[in-house]
Amino acid sequence: MFDYSSFTNAVIEANKELYEYMNIHMSSLDLKESETIGFGGDNSLQIDLIAENIFIKHLNSFGDIFSEEIGLLSSKSNIKIVIDPIDGSHNLQSGLSYYGTSVALKIDDKTKAGYVCNLVNKVMIYKVNDDLKQIDIISKRNIEILEVENSAIGIFERAYSYPTLCEKLYRNKLKFRSPGAVAISLAYAKNYNFVIFVGNIREFDVAASLYICNDLLVHQEDEFIVVSKNDDFFTLLKNLLMKNRL
């Protein structure tokens, strides 16, 4: 039987090591582009590679690693660990305080656990076998998950690539932000009126966070995801996105 507690502790320790590296040892050289083109197609920053190595060190004993930078490390196990070593690395590079990490645990192709850590406030939200929790990765203190009843905004990740769709949201009086770290945005979708993500959807971008928010209304197609806790927002946005695709 899989040891979820040991795996969760390993994810916490990996995030803790990365957080401490960023806040004690990171230099401007770590924020420069490397010569490596990651499996996801983006040019890797040095810190992306450092982060990936930290996660591999802590997690590779549990199963096969599938990461944004290196791709699939091996394919010998029924357990796959899907990692985005840094979610929002260009935010980090630019000094924008919205970035983190994402880890999904899949057993026999079914997601059993998802972990998303905000490395700015050192808080990790995670769900294991449908049990949702939040923790401070340094003190390991459990943090109450507050319910946001009156959301004022939605999130539209990659809005900059879709000006026509932005105009449609504006005409429907839908306020939104585009912070640039999709895993964090989706993991906290319950705090917003909606979260939409349009474009190339990669497993390591969304596997963990979609599991975390699987109790909400979720619609996913090849080129977009819409998530909401509200039926009206969900239906409106799904229709807008499907029409925008045509």
Residue type, 100: G
Q: Both 118 and 32 in a single domain?
A: yes
As a whole number, mean pLDDT of residues 26-51 equals: 83
* 127 and 169 belong to one structural domain: no
| pTM summary value | 0.95
C-alpha atoms less than 13 angstroms from C-alpha of 80 in its C-beta half-sphere: 18
Identify whether residues 12 and 127 lie together within a single domain.
yes
Residues 231 and 132 in one domain: no
| Residue 49, domain CATH | 3.30.540.10
Residue 175 lies in a domain: yes
Radius of gyration of the chain (CA): 18
pLDDT digits over 158-209, tens only?
Answer: 999 999 999 999 999 999 999 999 999 999 999 999 999 999 899 989 999 9
| 99 lies in the same domain as 172 | no
How does pLDDT run across 108-152, given as a tens digit for each residue?
999 999 999 999 999 999 999 999 999 999 999 999 999 888 899
| Residue 177 counted as domain residue | yes
Instruction: Give the model's pLDDT for residue 44.
Output: 83
Output the CA angle 120-202-146, nearest 5 degrees. 40
Assess if residue 200 is contained within a domain.
yes
CATH number of the CATH domain containing 226: 3.40.190.80
User: Angle between the 231-245 and 163-171 helix axes, to the nearest 10 degrees?
Assistant: 140
The count of domains in the chain is: 2
pLDDT tens by residue, 70-110:
778 766 789 999 999 999 999 999 999 999 999 999 999 99
* pLDDT of amino acid 38: 59
CA distance 183 to 196: 12
Q: Tell me, what's the pLDDT at 193?
A: 97
Beta strands in the chain (DSSP E): 33-37, 43-45, 64-67, 71-72, 79-87, 100-107, 110-118, 123-128, 131-136, 154-157, 176-177, 195-198, 217-220, 224-228
User: Which structural domain, as residue segments, surrounds residue 210?
Assistant: 154-245
Domain identity same for 87 and 117: yes
| In-domain check, residue 50 | yes
